[in-house]
C-alpha cells in the first residue's frame, strides 16, 4: 500500500498500527564485585539513543549484596517496528544515595536494538567495560513481553418474549452493554443493531476487545440493557440485568445461557411480575486477536531479499550523472534504500544472510542478459552477510557487468515466491518474506508482473518497490493496490494488497529514518493479515 494512504475507520493504518508497549525484564549474572567487605549492590539503568545521544529512560531498584540479581522493576518501552530503537543497559554498584551515575562504580554495559530483543524474545549477552573488554564474567539477560491483553470476546445474543412496547406492532429491540468506569458510573461499551417488529429478536454475533467490555477482568460486573427503538431517540426501556464475562462464558453452542430481563419499576408495582422477557446468550467465545509483535515474539523470522535494477537507463556507473554512481561519500540512491530498509529488517532474521539479486544486465563471460542473477556471482549461494554484505557485493558487482535491459520484475518476484511457497508447507507462522526492488523506471513485463503479484498475494510475502531517479512511476502506483484491487491478466484478483511503492525523490532532503518509516509502516499489518487469513496463531502462543 502507498505511504500517502489516509487512515480510514476500517482499522488502524500505518505507523499507528505497530505502536505497542513492551516490558523488559532484566537479570544479571556473575557481576563484578566492587565492594571490599561485601558483594556489589547493583542497579540497572536503561538508555535510548535520541538524535545521536544516550538519554536515560529509567532505572531499576538496587539489589543489595547480590552478584546475580533478578530485578523486580520492569522497563516499559513503546515499540515501533519501522524505527531502529537503540538501547543501552548499564549496570552500576550503588555506593551512595546520589542519583548521579558517576558517584557509583560501573559494572558493565550492553547495547542493542529493541528489534534484536523482541525477535529473540530472550537474550543473554556479555557485559562490556568502557574499553570494550568483557566486565569479568558478567552477563546480562533481557526478556521481552508484549504488554497488551489481546483477547477478544464474540457473543451471539437473542431474545424471547420481550415486552411489547409499540401500540400498533411489536417491539424493535436492541441491546446496550455497560461496564463501570473509574468514577463508578456505568459506561457504554457496545450497542447491537436494531431488530424490527419482533419480541423474539436474534442479533448478529459481534466481537469486542475483552479490555473494552470488562477491563480484562472476567469477574467484573457488566450491565446489559434492552430497549425498544424509537426513531425520535426516545427509546423505551424494556429491561436489564447484570452479569459477568465468566457467567456469559457458561453459554455453549449446545446449551445456551438464559438470563431474565428485569424492569425494576414493573417489578415493584406488580406482585406477580416475573420478567420482561428472556435474553439468550447463544454462544460466548474468547479468542486472541494476535498482533505483529505476538508473531515476532512467537519466533516468526522476516526473510529479506533485495532486487536491484541494472538496466541501461540508469546510466554509466562511472559517470556522476548515473543513478549507480557511488559518490565520494560512498553512497547513492540505491545504497540509501538498501540501508534504510535493511537496517530495520536485519534484526528480525536470526542468521542475517540475505539473498541479493540483480536484473537487466549482461553478465560475463558470454554477456547474456539476465533478469535474476546473484550479485555475488554465486547462484548456488546468493546470500550476503548482513546489510554490509549486500553493500560490498553491490560495489564489487558494478564494474563487472554491462547495463542492458529490459526492466523485467516478474523473474525476481517469482524467485522469492518459490521460497515463500515452500514455507507454507510447514503450516506454522515461522517465516514471512520481504522483497525490496529498487528500480529507476518503467516495467517492461507489466502483464507478467501483475500475474506474479496476484499469485504472491496468496503467500507469506510482501513487495516493497523504491523508485530512484526522476522517471514517471505511474505503473508502480498501479501495482500498489491502494485505490483498486490489482487484477492479473487472467482476471484473477489479488487476495490482499502486498505491494508498497515509494519514490525516493520524496525523501532526498529528509532524515534517512523517514524513508524506512514510509516504506515499512504497513508491513506489520500485512504480516498479521496473512497469518490470520491462514488461521495460523503465533508459534508457542497461549490459549485464550
pLDDT digits (tens, 9 = 90+) for 436-452: 999 998 889 999 999 99
CATH architecture of 151-288: Sandwich (2.60)
d(C-alpha 526, C-alpha 462), whole Å = 7
Q: Kindly state the average pLDDT of the residues 184-192.
A: 90
Helices (H) and strands (E) in the chain, counts: 12, 26
- Reported in sequence order, the residue ranges of 99-253 that DSSP labels E, i.e. its strands, are 105-113, 122-128, 134-146, 151-160, 173-180, 186-191, 206-209, 221-228, 236-244
Q: What is the pLDDT of residue 481?
A: 63
| Cβ–Cβ < 8 Å for 80, 521 | no
Q: Judge whether residue 24 has pLDDT over 70.
A: yes
Q: What is the pLDDT of residue 166?
A: 67
pLDDT digits (tens, 9 = 90+) for 223-252: 999 999 988 778 999 999 999 999 999 988
338 compared with 148, residue with greater pLDDT:
338
Classify 293-413+427-457+470-487+505-534 by CATH class. alpha beta
> Is the Cα dihedral 226, 228, 229, 235 positive or negative?
negative
Rg over CA atoms, the chain: 30
Q: Which secondary-structure segment (H or E) carries 344?
A: helix 333-345
Classify 19-147 by CATH class. mainly beta
User: pLDDT confidence of 522, banded at 50, 70, 90?
Assistant: confident
Q: What is the pLDDT of residue 15?
A: 33
Q: Kindly state the average pLDDT of the residues 297-321.
A: 95
294 compared with 480, residue with greater pLDDT:
294
Three-state DSSP class for residue 266 = helix
d(C-alpha 273, C-alpha 445), whole Å = 76
Residue 206, CA distances (Å) to 156, 157, 190, 220, 318 in order? 7, 9, 9, 20, 62
H helices of 220-329, where? 245-248, 264-269, 292-297
Max mean pLDDT among 160-164, 346-350, 413-417, 496-500 falls in: 413-417
Q: What is the pLDDT of residue 20?
A: 82
Q: What is the pLDDT of residue 271?
A: 86
Q: Judge whether residue 9 has pLDDT over 60.
A: no
- φ and ψ of 362, to 5 deg: -95, 135
The b-or-e profile of 59-90 (16+ CB within 10 A means b, else e) is bbebbeeebebebeeebebebbbbbbbbbbbb
- The reply to whether 293-413+427-457+470-487+505-534 shares the fold of 19-147 is no
Q: Judge whether residue 4 has pLDDT over 60.
A: no
Q: Kindly state the average pLDDT of the residues 154-165.
A: 93
Q: Judge whether residue 62 has pLDDT over 60.
A: yes
Q: What is the pLDDT of residue 472?
A: 81
User: pLDDT confidence of 392, banded at 50, 70, 90?
Assistant: very high
Is the backbone peptide bond immediately before 365 cis, with ω within 30 degrees of 0? yes
**Helix, strand, coil share (%) of the chain residues, nearest 5:** 25, 35, 40
In a 10 Å sphere around its CB, with 0-12 CB exposed, 13-18 middle and 19+ buried, how is residue 125 labelled?
middle
Q: Kindly state the average pLDDT of the residues 111-118.
A: 96
Q: What is the pLDDT of residue 1?
A: 27
Q: What is the pLDDT of residue 11?
A: 31
In a 10 Å sphere around its CB, with 0-12 CB exposed, 13-18 middle and 19+ buried, how is residue 112 labelled?
middle
> Is the Cα dihedral 110, 112, 114, 118 positive or negative?
negative
Which range (13-17, 149-153, 194-198, 296-300) has the least confidence?
A: 13-17
User: pLDDT confidence of 13, banded at 50, 70, 90?
Assistant: very low
Q: Judge whether residue 199 has pLDDT over 60.
A: yes
Q: Judge whether residue 484 has pLDDT over 90.
A: no
Q: Which residue has the cell 461499551?
A: 189
- The percentage of the chain sitting over the pLDDT mark of 90, rounded to a whole number, equals 76
- Residue partners of 208: CB distance under 8 A and separation at least 6: 152, 153, 177, 189, 190
Which range (211-215, 320-324, 381-385) has the least confidence?
A: 211-215
pLDDT digits (tens, 9 = 90+) for 211-231: 889 999 999 999 999 999 988
Domain coordinates in residue numbering, the chain: 19-147, 151-288, 293-413+427-457+470-487+505-534
Q: Kindly state the average pLDDT of the residues 13-36.
A: 76
Q: What is the pLDDT of residue 81?
A: 92
pLDDT digits (tens, 9 = 90+) for 269-284: 988 999 999 999 999 9
How high does pLDDT run on average in the chain? 90
| Cβ–Cβ < 8 Å for 452, 409 | yes
CA angle in degrees (0–180, nearest 5) for 27-66-141 = 15
Is the backbone peptide bond immediately before 382 cis, with ω within 30 degrees of 0? no
Partner residues linked to 110 by β-bridges: 89
Can you say how many angstroms the Cα of residue 106 is from the centroid of all Cα atoms in its chain?
Answer: 36
19 compared with 374, residue with greater pLDDT:
374
Amino acid at each position: 500500500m502507498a505511504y500517502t494512504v489516509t487512515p480510514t475507520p476500517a482499522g488502524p493504518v500505518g505507523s499507528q498500527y505497530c505502536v505497542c508497549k513492551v516490558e523488559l525484564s532484566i537479570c544479571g549474572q556473575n557481576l563484578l564485585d566492587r565492594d571490599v567487605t561485601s558483594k556489589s549492590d547493583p542497579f540497572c539503568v536503561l538508555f535510548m539513543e535520541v538524535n545521536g545521544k544516550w538519554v536515560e529512560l529509567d532505572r531499576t531498584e538496587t539489589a543489595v549484596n547480590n552478584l546475580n540479581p533478578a530485578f523486580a522493576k520492569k522497563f516499559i518501552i513503546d515499540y515501533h517496528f519501522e524505527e531502529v530503537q537503540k538501547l543501552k543497559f548499564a549496570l552500576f554498584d550503588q555506593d551512595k544515595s546520589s542519583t548521579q551515575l558517576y558517584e557509583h562504580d560501573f559494572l558493565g554495559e550492553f547495547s542493542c536494538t529493541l528489534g534484536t530483543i523482541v525477535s529473540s524474545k530472550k537474550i543473554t549477552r556479555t557485559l562490556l567495560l568502557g574499553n570494550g573488554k568483557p566486565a569479568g564474567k558478567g552477563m546480562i539477560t533481557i526478556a521481552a513481553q508484549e504488554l497488551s491483553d489481546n483477547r477478544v470476546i464474540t457473543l451471539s445474543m437473542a431474545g424471547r418474549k420481550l415486552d411489547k412496547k409499540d401500540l400498533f406492532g411489536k417491539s424493535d429491540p436492541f441491546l446496550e452493554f455497560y461496564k463501570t468506569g473509574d468514577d463508578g458510573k456505568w459506561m457504554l461499551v457496545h450497542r447491537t443493531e436494531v431488530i424490527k417488529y419482533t419480541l423474539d429478536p436474534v442479533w448478529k454475533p459481534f466481537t469486542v476487545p475483552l479490555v473494552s467490555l470488562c477491563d480484562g477482568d472476567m469477574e467484573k460486573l457488566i450491565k446489559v440493557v434492552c430497549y425498544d427503538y424509537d426513531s425520535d431517540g426516545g427509546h423505551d426501556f424494556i429491561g436489564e440485568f447484570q452479569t459477568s464475562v465468566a457467567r456469559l462464558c457458561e453459554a455453549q453452542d449446545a446449551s445456551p445461557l438464559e438470563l431474565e430481563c428485569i424492569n425494576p419499576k414493573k417489578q415493584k408495582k406488580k406482585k406477580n411480575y416475573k420478567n420482561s422477557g428472556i435474553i439468550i446468550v447463544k454462544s460466548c467465545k474468547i479468542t486472541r486477536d494476535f498482533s505483529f509483535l505476538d508473531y515476532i515474539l512467537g519466533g516468526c523470522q522476516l526473510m529479506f531479499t533485495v532486487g536491484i535494477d541494472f538496466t541501461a537507463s540508469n546510466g554509466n556507473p562511472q559517470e556522476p550523472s548515473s543513478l549507480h554512481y557511488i559518490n565520494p561519500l560512498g553512497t547513492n540512491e540505491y545504497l540509501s534504500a538498501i540501508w534504510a530498509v535493511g537496517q530495520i529488517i536485519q534484526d528480525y532474521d536470526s542468521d542475517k544472510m540475505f539473498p541479493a539479486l540483480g536484473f537487466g544486465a549482461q553478465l560475463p563471460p558470454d554477456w547474456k542478459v539476465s533478469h535474476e542473477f546473484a550479485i555475488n556471482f554465486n547462484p548456488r549461494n546468493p546470500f550476503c552477510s548482513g546489510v554490509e554484505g549486500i553493500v560490498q557485493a553491490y560495489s564489487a558487482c558494478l564494474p563487472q557487468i554491462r547495463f542492458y535491459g529490459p526492466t523485467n520484475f516478474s523473474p525476481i518476484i517469482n524467485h522469492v515466491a518459490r521460497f515463500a511457497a515452500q514455507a507454507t508447507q510447514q503450516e506454522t507462522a515461522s517465516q514471512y518474506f520481504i522483497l525490496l526492488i529498487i528500480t529507476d523506471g518503467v516495467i517492461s513485463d507489466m502483464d507478467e508482473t501483475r500475474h506474479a503479484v496476484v499469485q504472491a498475494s496468496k503467500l507469506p510475502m510482501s513487495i516493497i518497490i523504491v523508485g530512484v531517479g526522476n522517471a514517471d512511476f505511474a505503473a508502480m502506483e498501479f501495482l500498489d493496490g491502494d485505490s483498486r484491487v490489482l487484477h492479473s491478466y487472467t482476471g484473477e484478483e489479488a487476495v490482499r494488497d502486498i505491494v508498497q511503492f515509494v519514490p525516493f525523490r520524496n525523501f532526498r532532503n529528509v532524515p534517512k529514518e523517514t524513508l524506512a518509516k514510509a516504506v515499512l509502516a504497513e508491513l506489520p499489518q500485512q504480516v498479521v493479515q496473512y497469518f490470520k487469513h491462514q488461521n495460523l496463531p503465533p508459534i508457542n502462543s497461549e490459549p485464550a
